[in-house]
Each structure stands twice: as C-alpha cells, then as structure tokens.
Amino acid sequence: MRKRGLVLLTVLIIALTIVTPAGATQIFIDGHQLKAPTAVENGTTLVPLRPIFQSLGANVTWDDGTKTVTATKGDLVLTLRIGYKTAYLNHQPIALQVPAKVIEGSTMVPLRFVSEALGADVNWDGTSKTITITSNSPPPQTNTVPNNQIFNDNSDPLYIAIRDGLRQAQAKVVFQSVNQGQYQMKQIQDIAQRVLIDHPDLNYVDSLEIRASYGREVEIEITFNYYFSRTKVKQMISAVDKKSLEIINTVIKPGMSDLEKEKALHDYIVLNTKYDYENYLRNTVPKESYTTYGVLINGVGVCQGYASAMWKLLTMAGLECKYITGTGIGSNGPEPHGWNRVKIDGRWYNLDTTWDDPVPDRPGQIRYKYFNLTDNEMMRDHTWDASQQ
C-alpha cells in the first residue's frame, strides 16, 4: 500500500503597506491654494509637512543624519523622525496614525497631525477632494519678541529640550540622538550650563542630575531639582511673563530707539525695586530675591535678580543682551556679582542696574553711574571671564 505523503503548505502572508497618490486633491490654507502632492496610506491622507507648516508661519529644518524634522513657531517646538509613529510637541508625545515618511523628497505626515501640532482647523471634503486648513487668529501685536527668537538662543536640539523643559517646569527631560560624539558628558554639562546662562529668567534650579547611556543611540536624562515646588515654579514663570509684557507695553513707546528703550527699562527697575539690603546684611536672602520673580513681582531682589529681570525685559523689547556673572569690588571688598551687557548701535556696553539703585532704598532716586560703561570703565570695580563677552 502506497503511503500518501502529506504535503504541508506554509502560507506566508505578507502585509503590504500601500501608498497611493490621493488624486486631484486640492489644499487651501487660509483661503490660498497650495499646490503640493498628497498621498493615501491605508485610508489615511498624507500631506507634505514643510510647505504647509511654513504657510502657517513655522520655521522648518531638516537633520539628514538623524532623519529628523524640527519645526518652530513662537514657543512651540515640534520634532518628528522619519519612520516613527510618535512626534514630540514641546517634548510631549503626539501619536501619528501612520509613520512619517519621505515620498519623492517630501516629508509626508497624516492630515490630522497638522491640527494637533499647530492648532489649525483642518477640514476634508471627500466629494471635492479638498483640504481646507485655517490657522488660528494671530496674537495681538505687542512690543515684544517671542521667547524662542532671542538673539543668543541656540539651535542645538538638546539645548532646546533643556530650555523648554525649564520653561514648563518639567521634572526631567529625556533626549535621544544618534550623534554620540556630539553628546559626551562634558558637552552635555556645557549645554545645560549654557541654557541657564542664556535664560536667567528660567533659573529656579538648585541642581541638575545628568545621566547618559550609550548604545546605538545616546539617551540623555536630565533631572531638574528646583528651589521651589514645580507647581510654584510654573506659577512664577507665568507671573513673570505676564508682568514683563505689562511693563513693556507700558514704558516702551512706538518709535523709541534702542537706547531709549534701555533707559526706560533701567529706570523702571530702579524705581520699582528695593535692594534686599537687610537680608543681605544678615546673610538671610530668600531664594526669591535671586530671581526675576523677586524683582518684577515682589519688587525686592539682589544683583542676580536685577540682572535677570533686566535681561528678561531688554530681550522682550528686542535688544541684544547678555547676563554676566563675575566679581564686584565694593566697600566690603570683592564679592560675586551679576550684571548685563547690552548691544546699542552695534557696540556692546555694560549695565549694572543693581549698583544704580541707591542702598538703602531712596524712592524716586535713579543713578546712571553704571549705565552703558565701556569694558575699560567697568574694569575699575568689576571683573569677569572674557569668554562671556
């Protein structure tokens, strides 16, 4: 008896991802037609990220090494990697229906992602195959510049992650990159320190804990240890932003030169702030007095608070400004001190608002002894690291 062989057939089922053109789809942004290709993947309409985001006022950059798109608009920072189903808006995850992909040289993303990322209203008319995108109304015009468009800001992705983490009073930031050589521990520490120097208004941090693991990618975890609770820090940052805008819109007038803006803000700080002299003498200066919040909200501060507040206001008014730390040589001898450098008509000057405020406090009195000194003039009783210039 012949045995019949049992033939087992293994059926290999391959799931195919089908990407097809979306036909004659039209895209309208705020009433203007955008001629750009679209596609459909598994029922999800894909649209080109760059032209749409740029039409909505965002700046878009591409990192070919990591295949990462970064888009910024105002205080919003969006990062998106090709092939991944998660994007990050100010480091908060946004799930994509399908991964972002490059089609004929264009980064394509799900249509719904446009509204989630930039808050635009997106409508799809299946009958006419028309996509209508409407941006939110722009904010009222003010005399300020956005927080992420300051002169000394940095485009490094880790720098941006740390800056935004501090602005949102996050407990920590987690950052990944394939550029391991760029992010060794010394570089990470330098970038974190640079953020705190460039953004003294966000420095409510007692210390940082940095961890880095290296494999195919480097994963960096930075934990922020704040002087206050995270809830209070958020409230302090929000209060400072609101008060700063109020000050700018009150003292800065249309047509003012940079020098006039600087003087107006210098005078505001001197007239509305009291140096925390009694606590200074007792060595009991509270943490608030070292911050922008102490000067602008409490009306009390020491040099770090004065310089941080001046940086905040000058920067918001559109002036190029730096926060400087060094040594001040006063009646008690050399002491750690902070002040500002301001760029007026293409030249850098030194501004020490703290030492222009009489101590003890004398309401209504303003001095200009340390208003826009040259380096040689400032060196008579100030010293600092030249690398800060």
Amino acid 319: pLDDT: 92
Helix (H, G, I), strand (E, B), or coil: what is residue 269? helix
Q: pTM higher than 0.75, yes or no?
A: no
pLDDT in tens, 206-255: 999 999 999 888 899 999 999 999 999 999 999 999 999 999 989 998 88
Q: Report the distance separating Cα 99 and Cα 293, nearest Å.
A: 43
E-strand stretches of 178-217: 205-214
Contact 96, 30 (CB under 8 A): no
Contact 71, 60 (CB under 8 A): yes
Q: Report the distance separating Cα 103 and Cα 321, nearest Å.
A: 43
DSSP H helical segments within 36-94, as ranges?
A: 49-55
Residue 188 predicted with pLDDT over 50: yes
Question: Any idea of the CA torsion for 212, 215, 218, 221, to the nearest 10 degrees?
Answer: -30
Q: Report the distance separating Cα 220 and Cα 157, nearest Å.
A: 12
Identity at 279, one-letter amino acid code: N
State the average pLDDT over residues 152-158. 74
Amino acid 176: pLDDT: 87
pLDDT in tens, 242-286: 999 999 989 998 889 999 999 999 999 999 999 999 999 999 999
Amino acid 147: pLDDT: 45
Q: In this structure, what DSSP letter does residue 173 have?
A: E
State the average pLDDT over residues 13-42. 63
pLDDT in tens, 298-316: 999 999 999 999 999 999 9
Q: Report the distance separating Cα 300 and Cα 357, nearest Å.
A: 12
Q: Report the distance separating Cα 363 and Cα 251, nearest Å.
A: 18
Contact 346, 291 (CB under 8 A): no
Q: Report the distance separating Cα 329 and Cα 166, nearest Å.
A: 32
Contact 120, 135 (CB under 8 A): yes
Residue 328 predicted with pLDDT over 90: yes
Give Rg (Cα) of the chain. 27
Nearest to residue 324, comparing CAs of 312, 311, 313, 343?
A: 311
pLDDT in tens, 60-88: 888 877 788 888 887 778 888 888 777 77
Contact 340, 303 (CB under 8 A): no
Task: Based on DSSP, count helices (H) and strands (E) in the chain, helices before strands.
Answer: 10, 24
**For the stretch 159-195, what's the b/e string if a residue is b when 16 or more beta carbons lie within 10 angstroms of its beta carbon?**
bbbbbbbbbbbbeebebebeeeeebeeeebeebbebb
- pLDDT grade, residue 14 (50/70/90)? very low
Question: Any idea of the CA torsion for 111, 113, 118, 120, to the nearest 10 degrees?
Answer: 40
Contact 95, 86 (CB under 8 A): yes
Higher pLDDT, 93 or 210: 210
Amino acid 1: pLDDT: 37
Q: Report the distance separating Cα 193 and Cα 187, nearest Å.
A: 10
Q: In this structure, what DSSP letter does residue 224 have?
A: E
